[in-house]
Amino acid sequence: MGNRSSISLPGFFNCCRKKKEKTDSNVTNTGENLERENWSSKTEYLLAMIGYAVGLGNVWRFPYIAFKHGGGAFLIPFIIMLAIAGLPLFFMECSLGQFASLGPVAIWRIVPILRGVGITMVLISALVSIYYNVIVAYSLYYLFASFTRVLPWSDCMDWANEKCSQTSRGFCNISSGADIFTVNLTWVQDNNLTCIDNSTVEENTELPSQQYWKNVALRRSSGLDETGVVVWHLALCLLLAWILVGAALFKGIKSSGKVVYFTAVFPYVVLLILLIRGATLEGARDGINYFIGTQSDMSKLKNAEAWKDAATQLFYSLSTAWGGIVALASYNKFHNNCYLDAIVVCVINCLTSLFAGFAIFSIMGHMAFSLKKPVPEVVNEGFALAFMAYPEALTKLPVSPLWSILFFFMLLTLGLDSQFALIETITTAIQDAFPKAMKKMRIPITIGCCIFLFLLGLVCVTQAGIFWVNLIDYYCGGWAILIAAILEVVGICWVYGGNRFIQDIEMMLGKKNFCFWLWWRACWFVITPVVLIFILVWSLATLETPVYDNIKYPSWGEALGWCMIIFCIIWIPILAIIKICKTKGNLWQRIVKSAAAAPNWGPALEQNWGERYKHLADLKHDNIDLEIPTVVGKVNASFEPEQ
């Protein structure tokens, strides 16, 4: 459109002549980018993506959310949200990273005014990686504690207090003919009797697994106000967790790509073993029915919260807008079929959630049978399920240490997979900013990142550590990500241009018919941003004070949480203002120029530039500083491809 270029034509022809004389030294005959590296194989990439998307949330949150919103009925909003929000955003990020071979910060050459969105993604990933590795440390601690003849949380031992009990204590009324008697709850349970409705008076008791989690594993204080001392066994486990991460990533994708063969596959082996074992236990059918069987309640779909929770669970489960998808896809070869990859990863992610639900609830059903309680009374989400309810259920199984070792090793591998991608997001951003330094000093830079994040995470292994973990998760894993996701979709579809972006994808995948793109256009332009805005507004409208174990956070804790959110998103307006100020023209011209794709936006390798990005040859030949704002004004018009 308009003049094709203000750069001299001789420069272009000279470049073409040179291109005929020699090939790019950074490219192999197979199209591999030697400067930046590519995945060794398609399998490594897919396993890394599956490991990133499939995490702890699939095991300890999805089953509970599904149960809460009608069991099997919950699959309806879940699948719909996958189609209209999860998959479109996942496909967009895969295509974006692969097309330009850039990480979450440098990728915003596509819309320079939104470069701060990339910074936000990296900062969120950094903050989340701090507490996520603490959860890995919890798994390591329980894994080591399981190597014993009798699980240490199987009974009330010397660390327990007077509230500890394996059975409920209290009284209730039972009927015997015409008479009604008040008896002990333990006696009722031992004799398989039933209390009269609304007659139960229970004492405030806690299971051994609950007290072990609080008194031994965490040595938990009374709240965020009481920091206490560093819990050294957790600190050592955290150190080991960071050593494992650093060892897997010290050579970038060349080393992590080999590790994921084990860490991405092993959880499925364990889930299958647990499902087979759980299905053979008494009460397993009751647990599965509560999860997704005869207890399905379609009426719960009338509640808007079910749809909001489906979108939220899917959004966070797929890890979109965290920067990791863009980072991992950026190491793909240019013509890789990222469309098929996105579908495969999203489908596997959803099926894994279902698979985990069956495995978890079969054993929860057995626990309910053993305790003679309804399934809902032994089901929780998050930490309560992973480190209290499930360990308690494991004590009811024959050879319980073996099942405990398998379960916590599974949690370890699930956590490490996601952690690899979070750190890879950070190192990819560093590599894009300082490619020469990263090439020479990848190992010390990676180790330095791990050490720095380990030191920041020490506050999460103090006696108040669990409150810090919950605080970071509550704030950093929420609104900031939604804001980044909304700006990402709007920036690409409405600023850069959805049709231009589709043309970029077609350069990689080949031409597609109009009907193929009809659905993706509808989602990217309207449906997906509307759904994300709905989730954001709903989350803010239903905002509550964060709590953990019914303990409210102090006002300064809430303020600190909001400061973390502001710290992540403040770079969006700051970098936008800086970009506008450095650009020449009146205010509107500056905004327009700052929003236009940078001169160096396009495929990384010269062989993939094609006709649409042939101007990059001129810029490369003339050694123009592509980041100077004035260059954008001179050549902006020439960089808009034909619509």
Comparing 26-30, 44-48, 375-379, the range with the smallest average pLDDT is: 26-30
The sign one gets for the Cα dihedral 132, 481, 306, 414 is negative
The pLDDT, as a whole number, for residue 477 is 72
**268 — pLDDT class (breaks 50, 70, 90):** very high
Whole-number pLDDT of residue 160: 86
Asked whether the predicted pLDDT for residue 217 surpasses 70, the reply is yes
pLDDT of residue 536: 86
Average the pLDDT over 328-339 and give the result: 93
What is the arithmetic mean of pLDDT over 227-239? 96
Is residue 23 scored above 50 in pLDDT? no
Pick from 485, 505, 546, 508: which is nearest to 314 by CA? 485
pLDDT, mean of residues 558-579: 95
Name the binding residues.
51, 53-54, 58, 317, 349, 414, 417-418
Mean pLDDT, residues 602-612 = 88
Q: Please tell me the distance from the alpha carbon of residue 13 to that of residue 25, in angstroms, as a whole number.
A: 20
Pick the more confident residue, 488 or 73.
488
pLDDT level of residue 416 (50, 70, 90 thresholds):
very high
The 3-class SS string of 418-476 reads HHHHHHHHHHHHHHHHCHHHHHHHHHHHHHHHHHHHHHHHHHHHECCHHHHHHHHHHHH
Please give the radius of gyration of the chain, using alpha carbons only, rounded to the nearest integer.
27
pLDDT at 550: 84
Q: Which residue has the higher pLDDT, 376 or 274?
A: 274
Q: Locate 89 and state its tokens.
A: 């955003």
One DSSP character per residue, 477-511 reads TTHHHHHHHHHHHHIIIIIIIHHHHHHHHHHHH--
* Over residues 599-617, mean pLDDT: 86
- The answer on pLDDT for 374 being more than 90 is no
Average pLDDT, the chain: 84
Domains of the chain: 42-157+215-622 (1.20.1740.10), 170-204 (no CATH)
pLDDT grade, residue 484 (50/70/90)? very high
Of the segments 188-197, 200-209, 306-315, which one has the largest average pLDDT value?
306-315
Residue 415 has pLDDT above 80, yes or no: yes
Known binding-site positions for Na(+): 51, 53-54, 58, 317, 349, 414, 417-418
Q: Read off the pLDDT of each residue in 390-395 and give the average, rounded to a whole number.
A: 87
Contact 455, 238 (CB under 8 A): no
pLDDT in tens, 182-197: 767 766 766 667 777 7
Question: What is the secondary structure of 270-304 as a DSSP string?
Answer: HHHHHHHHHHTSTTHHHHHHHHHSTT--GGGGGSH
Q: What's the confidence (pLDDT) of residue 622?
A: 58
pLDDT class of 640 with cuts at 50, 70, 90 = very low
Predicted confidence at residue 29, as pLDDT, reads 55
For residue 162, what pLDDT is reported?
A: 83
Digit-coded pLDDT (tens) for 63-112: 878 877 777 778 888 888 899 989 999 999 999 999 999 999 999 999 99
d(CA 101, CA 409): 34
pLDDT of residue 377: 73
Q: Is the pLDDT of residue 317 over 60?
A: yes
Q: Is residue 382 over pLDDT 50?
A: yes
Q: Largest Cα–Cα distance in the chain?
A: 106
